[in-house]
Structure 1
């Protein structure tokens, strides 16, 4: 008889926060997705097969880390653009 596996609430929270990090609450959702995603994966590993939801936790982590990477690229592009504009202004 197979034991009933319950989905980790932290994994669900991670995925929902990851989605919210891309839409309604960018910074807070991203941080919550990353933190709860790592916590959920540890909880699932330590549950001895009683908890499920590793895919949900990974989905939240991927969404969270992609949001961080997008923010970093955006800030880099902004600084490069403003640096280029300042350089052009200093020439003329």
Structure 2
């Protein structure tokens, strides 16, 4: 009759908060922390699933972290390609 009280995983909360910070204040650091803590939270929840909750928060943190990291990498590549093309065009015209 008495169900044990389930608490939310601290790592899942940290993953979600870091994922949000990865999109706002700390793009690179927040994304990496969100990914690491998200994976740690998922493994913790698999081990102690009867006592902890928060899988949705961990997954949301992982998604936010991976998307922010991918956006950052694509943005850097686009800048490099653009300025590389500009440098190539300027050297070609001389």
Q: How many residues in Structure 1 have an aligned counterpart in Structure 2?
A: 92
Which aligned segments of 4 or more residues in structure 1 are displaced greater than 6 angstroms? none
Unmatched segments (≥5 aa) in structure 2: none
TM value normalised by structure 1: 0.94
Q: For residues 32 and 38 of structure 2, what CA distance do their matches in structure 1 show? A: 10
> 1:82 and 2:83 equivalent?
yes
Question: 1:46 aligns to what?
Answer: 47
Unmatched segments (≥5 aa) in structure 1: none
For residues 55-78 of structure 1, the C-alpha deviation after alignment (integer angstroms, 9 at most, x for no partner) is 000000000000110011101101
Question: 1:15 aligns to what?
Answer: 16
> 1:63 and 2:64 equivalent?
yes
Q: For residues 27 and 76 of structure 1, what CA distance do their matches in structure 2 show? A: 15
